[in-house]
Amino acid sequence: MFSSEKLNQLTLQITKLAREAGDFQLRELQHFERSNIEFKGRSNDLVSYVDKETEKLLIEGLSKLVPEAGFETEEGTIEQSTTGLRWVIDPLDGTTNFLHKIPLFSISIALVQDETLLIGVVHEPSRNECFYAWKDGGAYMNGERIEVSAIQTLSESLIATGFPYTLRGKAEQYFSLIRHFVETTQGVRRLGSAAIDLCYVACGRFESYFEFNLKPWDVAAGILIVREAGGSVSNYSGGSDRCQTAEEVCAANKDVHPFMIETLKKYW
Ligand code: IPD
Ligand code: CA
Ligand code: CA
C-alpha cells in the first residue's frame, strides 16, 4: 500500500501528464475534421485518433510511474495485474463534444486498488482546470482546496445529468424524472462529460449530478474527487453498489443528497 505522502507525490506527477495530454488535445482541436470520426458500433458512439493517441500517451507515462499497475481504459487497453492495482482511464471524456469542436471535454485518470479509489485526476484542458484528489488527502483544483456547495434545498440547486448512449428501456422513467427536476430545481444541465459533471459538484458549481449506464472510466476519478471534497456519491437507492461499476451514479453535497435519493427512488 502507498503512504499518503507517496499518493500526494504520485497525484502531482499524474496531473503533469494529464496537462501534457490536454495540450495535445487542444492542438488537435484546432484542425480536427469530422471525416476523422469513427463509429464504435452504434451511430452515436464515436471515437477518433485523438482518443487513441491520448490513451497511448497516458499509458506510456503512467507505466513509468507505477510499473506494477494494470490498465482498464475506454479504448481497449486491458492489462490485468496480479496485485489488483490498476489505472482506470478515459483518455477523452466528452468525445462527442470534442468531435463537434465544442471545447468541453476532459481526461480522467484513477488509480484503484481492488475496490478502493486511491487517486483521481480530471483535467479540463480548455479551462486549464485540473481537479485532483488522493485518498484521505482532500480535493483540489489547480493547487487550491475545493469543497462541495453549502446549499441545503433542491429548490436552490443546479443539477447536472447525462444522456447515456442507450437508455436501456428506461426512457419513460428518465424523462419523467428530468421533467420533475426541471420543475423543482434552479435548472438541469447536460454538459457531455461525466468526469467534469462530478468535478463541478466537487467544487460547488453544481449541487448534484446523476446518470446511469456509465462505465467505470467515466466516473472513477470524479467519485473520489467528490468524496474528498466532502460530498456523497451513491447508486440511486443510496447504497454504494452500482456506483463504482457506474451503473447508477448520484453525487451531491451531503445536505442535498438525501433529497436526490428520495426523488430517484420515487421515479426509478
Ligand atoms: C460520455 C460522457 C457523457 C455521458 C456518456 C459517456 P465519452 O463519455 O461522459 O457525459 O453522458 O454517457 O459515455 O463517450 O465522451 O467518453
Ligand atoms: Ca467517457
Ligand atoms: Ca471517452
Residue 257's pLDDT is 98
| pLDDT tens figures, 166-184 | 887 889 999 999 999 999 9
Ligand 1 centre to CA of 112 (Å) is: 20
Q: What would be the CATH architecture of the domain defined by 4-145? A: 2-Layer Sandwich (3.30)
- Please give the distance, rounded to the nearest whole angstrom, from the Cα atom of residue 229 to the centre of ligand 3: 24
- pLDDT of the residue at 46: 73
User: Using one digit for the tens of pLDDT, what is the confidence trace for 35-72?
Assistant: 888 887 766 667 789 999 999 999 999 999 999 999 99
Retrieve residue 75's grid coordinates.
Answer: 479504448
Q: Do 84 and 69 touch, CB atoms closer than 8 A?
A: no
Calpha distance 146→104 (Å, rounded): 20
Cα distance between residue 224 and residue 215, in whole Å: 15
- DSSP-derived pairing of the beta strands 158-161 and 208-212: parallel
253 with 150: CB under 8 angstroms? yes
pLDDT at residue 43, rounded to an integer:
66
How remote is the CA of residue 78 from the centroid of ligand 3, in Å? 15
Per residue of the chain (268 residues), give pLDDT as tens. 799 999 999 999 999 999 999 999 999 999 888 888 888 776 666 778 999 999 999 999 999 999 999 999 999 878 888 889 999 999 999 999 999 999 999 999 999 999 999 999 999 999 999 999 999 999 999 999 999 999 999 999 999 999 877 887 889 999 999 999 999 999 999 999 999 999 999 999 999 999 999 999 999 999 999 999 999 999 999 998 777 789 999 999 999 999 999 999 999 9
Q: Report the topology of domain 154-267.
A: D-Maltodextrin-Binding Protein; domain 2 (3.40.190)
* Whole-number pLDDT of residue 42: 66
Cell of 140: 483540489
Q: Do 4-145 and 154-267 share a fold?
A: no
Q: Where are the domains of the chain?
A: 4-145, 154-267
194 alpha carbon, closest ligand: 1
Q: Where are the alpha helices (DSSP H) in the chain?
A: 4-31, 49-65, 95-99, 171-184, 194-202, 216-228, 257-267
pTM: 0.96
Cβ(225) – ligand 1 distance below 6 Å: no
| R_g (Cα) of the chain, nearest Å | 18
Cell readout for 237 is: 437507492
Residues facing 85 on adjacent strands:
113
